[in-house]
Amino acid sequence: MSLAIGLWSLKLTPGKEEIIQPPADLQITNVALGDVLKDTSGRTSVKLTYAPTANIEEDEEEESIPDPAVTVLCSLKPDTFEQTSTNIILQEDETYKFEIVGKNTVYLTGNYIEQSVNNPPFGDDDESDFSDEDAYDLREVSSDVEMHPDDLDSDASRFEEVEDAPKNLKRARDAEEDTAKPSKAEKKKKQKTEAAKPAEATPEVKKKEKEAPKDKETAPKAKPAEREIAGGIKILDSKIGTGPMAKKGNTVRMRYIGKLTSGKVFDQNVKGKPFTFRLGKGEVIKGWDEGIVGMQAGGERKLTLPPAMAYGSKGTDGIPKNATLIFEVKLVEIK
């Protein structure tokens, strides 16, 4: 899904650190031992140090610079495992440090790539999954404002309350008429007994006390705030999902509606086969690779992507140059 725009290579020498800052996105495709081996039996490992992606769930005020992460890219051994293919993408203008553990020289080979050229976050095969009549069927994609069915009072429930009142009063009067009137002695005895009892709360007070917790539970929740992450991507979570959070390397299945700032819908996937891709692997525009991270299954999010995180100065079919895009997305499943 990416376009190679130039060849790249790097020689790693034992005991010497190599620090690079790619001028464009860089994909490393092969790691191999050099043609001259100083150690014909020992293992040589390639270590990579990089800055991990910050946690986008944290508020901007609480964000801190994460500690550098260290990983072993691969380990090679003469006559056994002298080269390996990789699919690692180094982000533009990010800093990376390579170093060798062992005695042999190692060569890295790859390509500078362009990930945003004619690379929409949707596929042509999805167009056949829904007809024009169903194109704007948003039953599975909610808006920013959600209402639970229990919060809506139907006319039937209001009529039922009005009709029940006179029936209850009628039954109470019938019961009173059927009950024999107490004698004077019984009245005096009853008055003495009630006087000795502590005063009870009136029905109205009891009703208020009973409904008090419910009022607290039904108090309106604070509206979620929009936040901004690296690259100028704005995120607004309209619904938080459940389960583990999506991270780079996961395969995710998505529903979405893509709009221009004018409100015009340029494409969508709201029914049929969900759109599926590998997060953080350059298979979609940068705004999706970064903006979907941290979502949970069932979660819904609004992404506002600046041109640099979408289609930039080139644009694409139905999307003008330097366009800011708005996506309403729903994470269906994480694999």
CA distance 44 to 150: 64
The token duo for 74 is 């691969």
Q: CA end-to-end span of the chain, whole Å?
A: 20
C-beta of residue 48 within 8 angstroms of C-beta of residue 98: yes
CA distance 21 to 252: 29
Helix (H) or strand (E) holding 2: none
Judge residue 295's burial from the number of C-beta atoms within 10 Å of its C-beta, 0-12 exposed, 13-18 middle, 19 or more buried.
Answer: buried
What is the Cβ-side half-sphere exposure of residue 148, based on CA atoms within 13 angstroms? 5
CA distance 105 to 158: 81
Provide the phi-psi class of 163: left if phi over 0, else alpha when psi is between -120 and 50, else beta: alpha
The SS3 assignment for 195 reads: helix
Give the Cβ contact number of residue 49 at 10 Å: 15
Interstrand relation of 265-269 and 325-334 (parallel, antiparallel or unpaired) = unpaired
Helix (H) or strand (E) holding 182: none
* Phi, psi angles (nearest 5°) of residue 173: -65, -40
State CA 237 to chain mean position distance. 8
C-beta of residue 285 within 8 angstroms of C-beta of residue 306: no
Q: What is the DSSP letter of 298?
A: T
* Owner of token pair 């050229």: 117
Helix (H) or strand (E) holding 217: helix 203-217
> What are the catalytic residues?
256, 266-267, 285, 311, 327
State CA 278 to chain mean position distance. 14
